[in-house]
Chains A and B, each alone.
Chain A
Amino acid sequence: MFWNFAISLGRDSLWRSVKYGELFMSLVSYIEYLRNGLEELLKSDLDVQLFGEDIAEPYGGAFKVTKGLSLEFPDRVIQTPMSEQGFTGMAVGMALAGMKPIVEIMFGDFSTLIADQIINHASKFVWLYKKPMNMVIRAPMGGYRGYGATHSQSLERLFFGQPHTLVIAPSVLNNPGRLLINSVYEGVPVIFVENKLDYARRFIEHTENYQDLEINTLGIFFPTTEVKIAGFDESELTIITYGGLTQLALELQWKFMLEEEIPIKLLCPSKISPIDEKALLEFTKNDKKILILEEGYKKFGWGSEVSRILYQAEPSRRIRHIGAKSEFIGASQILEDCVLPNTDNIDAVMREMVGSL
């Protein structure tokens, strides 16, 4: 099967696989990669069904990810009532019967509603009844858009550490279409975290400074991606992040190179929970200064777990962690800025860590 091969994102071998190349070559933005993955799944596997609110024509989903798909697959792109618990429960039943449902939760904030069906049903059945549960919950997360406290959160944290459940997050570095295809065949419920700001962003190889980056990956299905400035073997600082903040980290990495000639390394896993510890430790084995960035709450956050893993492997390292403050995300720009990580406060911590204040 075409998703069943290794792919290196190294510059020279990016499109080594013809089939992968054909599938994604003409695309530019994150949302195009994602929609293409969905279309490919619907074409290649009759057990795949899309469920969600307002996902059919003419609306095509709150973020237009499924735009057009219901015209091509009218019986398989199912527009549901506003019953997140009910239709997510249906997806659990479909997976139990051997189908491969993909559920769109309009805003990831609503995943509080589906937690029972994921935590107490889908993931339990994998273990209790030894049934592969092929199902994906697509959940657009994240803020910076002024949507206020119930439409801006990064609630993937609800599912961190849950056994027999994966939290997968694509980014402009980790092809959302390919990750989605891999998620559908994983045999456990997958919380697929899409960052709202990423939808319109260009994928990495369509950016202007792509030729100046050296990109390496570890892992086949849910790779961890390393981005270095080409020509610099050693970096002064390593940033670890995922999802939507990847773009911000890439911009800061490039800014530090241009303005200060300071090479910074970026590490971006696509498997958020459980953490791929091997890849994390392999990519950071020589790193002395590490900054972990996440959009979700810093306290009890993903970065705290990454810190623990890094610290246990090598206690002498300097590790910092930036995440959202423990307060709700206000609608007003100034209130949102107070809570969510932003370029200015990340920049300041980076300067402090590399010693160029």
Chain B
Amino acid sequence: MNSLQETLYEKMLLIRKTEQAIDKLFSQGVLRGTVHGCIGQEAIAAGVLSHVDPSIDFITGSHRSHGHYLALSDDPTSLIGELMGKKNGAVEGRGGSQHIRFKNFYTNGITGGMVPVAVGLAYSQKINTKSGIVVSFFGDGAMNEGYVMEAFNLASIMRLPILFALENNGFAMSTSQSKTTAGSCEARVRSFDIEYTFIEANDVLNIYEISEEIISKIRVTRTPSFIEFKTHRFSGHSKSDKREYIDQELDIYWKMNDPLKKAKESIDLSKAAYIEAVIDRRIDDAISVAVESPFPDPIEEYEGEYRT
């Protein structure tokens, strides 16, 4: 039986190792298209998503959602299969890196576009006296999309049960937030009369505890809340990115504050080694299954013949 610290470490390590395996597969030429990795940001997915049930609650992600997917599904096979464009993939090869689904978890490749969608999901949970809540993940780039501001206003004025989870890694693709974002995220959120919390995302246990408190409150009050996670991505924005725009000092700071390293320190060394061995084997198996899986069947042209 795993302790809480061990469970959280295992989730984070699964995300880290899967992302590393995906990078390797890419350099081997096995993957098409592009991928958006989340190395460095794992603690947010692991900590927050421990408190939601994707069969009852709804979760929305963005182009960078491999971590959310793995935290919810615990299934690297369908993620790797999806990136390979295989039939065993999360959405049978239609989606790729940016368009994945697990139960009530949905992502899409348009920056900020899922935030108003998440508010609509929250509306469905409020008016039908359903018990679910919504968690919507997005990055700092989305904070400058107009309809994200519309979504905050709508969620607040309608008092909807939603947690806005901003994963602020400081860069919208290659553009530093300091060059793009006037004022502060906090001031913007507070101006919509939405409760705001700031967390530096280097301690998964801290994220777990604070988000538990906030999500429990949303379940009772059925009103919106917002967490800004200050984080850092060691992955490039996408496959072709060499990260030339990122200051060395920032990398050094976050290497020292790597949430995975910190989580590992809190557990027994032999247990950590065991967890790592299990995950290595699971990822190897996942790659084998995905490689063996067939490609999807050809599709027909849409003729609008749902009904005529």
**A residues within 8 Å of B by Cβ?**
46, 49, 75, 80-81, 83, 85-99, 101, 116-117, 120-121, 124-125, 127-130, 163-164, 166, 182, 186-188, 219-222, 271, 273-274, 276, 278-279
Not counting A188-B304, A220-B307, A279-B308, a sample of 9 additional A-B residue pairs whose C-beta atoms are within 8 angstroms of each other reads: A81-B154, A85-B146, A90-B117, A93-B120, A116-B110, A120-B110, A124-B108, A128-B99, A220-B308
- Report Cα–Cα, A49/B308, bound state, in Å: 25
Q: Which of B2-10, B121-129, B270-278 contacts A (4 or more CB under 8 A)?
A: B121-129
* Pair B306/A86 contact, Cβ less than 8 Å: no
User: Once the chains bind, are A86 and B116 in contact (CB under 8 Å)?
Assistant: yes
How many whole Å from B100's CB to the nearest CB in chain A? 9
Assess the A129–B106 pair: CB atoms within 8 A. yes
User: A97's contact among B58, B94, B302, B304, by CB below 8 Å, is which?
Assistant: B58
A166 to B307, CA, bound (A): 11
Does residue B115 face the partner (Cβ distance < 8 Å to A)?
yes
B63 near A: Cβ within 8 Å? no
Contact of B302 among A85, A87, A93, A163 (CB under 8 A): A163
A-B contact pairs, 13 of them (CB 8 A): A86-B151, A86-B153, A90-B151, A93-B117, A97-B124, A116-B113, A120-B110, A120-B113, A125-B106, A182-B307, A188-B306, A220-B308, A271-B308
Could you tell me if A274 and B303 are in contact, using CB atoms closer than 8 angstroms? yes
A186 to B307, CA, bound (A): 7
Chain A residues within 8 Å of B157, by CB: 81
Is the C-beta of B118 less than 8 angstroms from some C-beta in chain A? yes
Shortest CB–CB separation between residue B259 and chain A, in angstroms?
30
Least CB separation from A49: chain B residue: B127
Whether a CB of chain A sits under 8 angstroms from the CB of B91 is yes
Q: Is B234 an interface residue (CB 8 A)?
A: no
Given A81-B157, A274-B303, A89 contacting B151 (CB threshold 8 A): yes
| Size bracket, chain B contacts | 35 or more
Q: Which residues of B contact A (CB under 8 A)?
A: 58, 91, 94-95, 99, 101, 106, 108-110, 113-125, 127-128, 146-147, 150-151, 153-154, 157, 302-304, 306-308
Task: Report whether A94 and B124 are in contact in the complex, using a CB–CB cutoff of 8 Å.
Answer: yes
Least CB distance from B233 to A in Å reads: 24
In angstroms, Cα B99 to Cα A85, docked, is 21
B119 near A89 with CB under 8 A, answer yes
The smallest beta-carbon distance between B120 and chain A, in angstroms, is 2
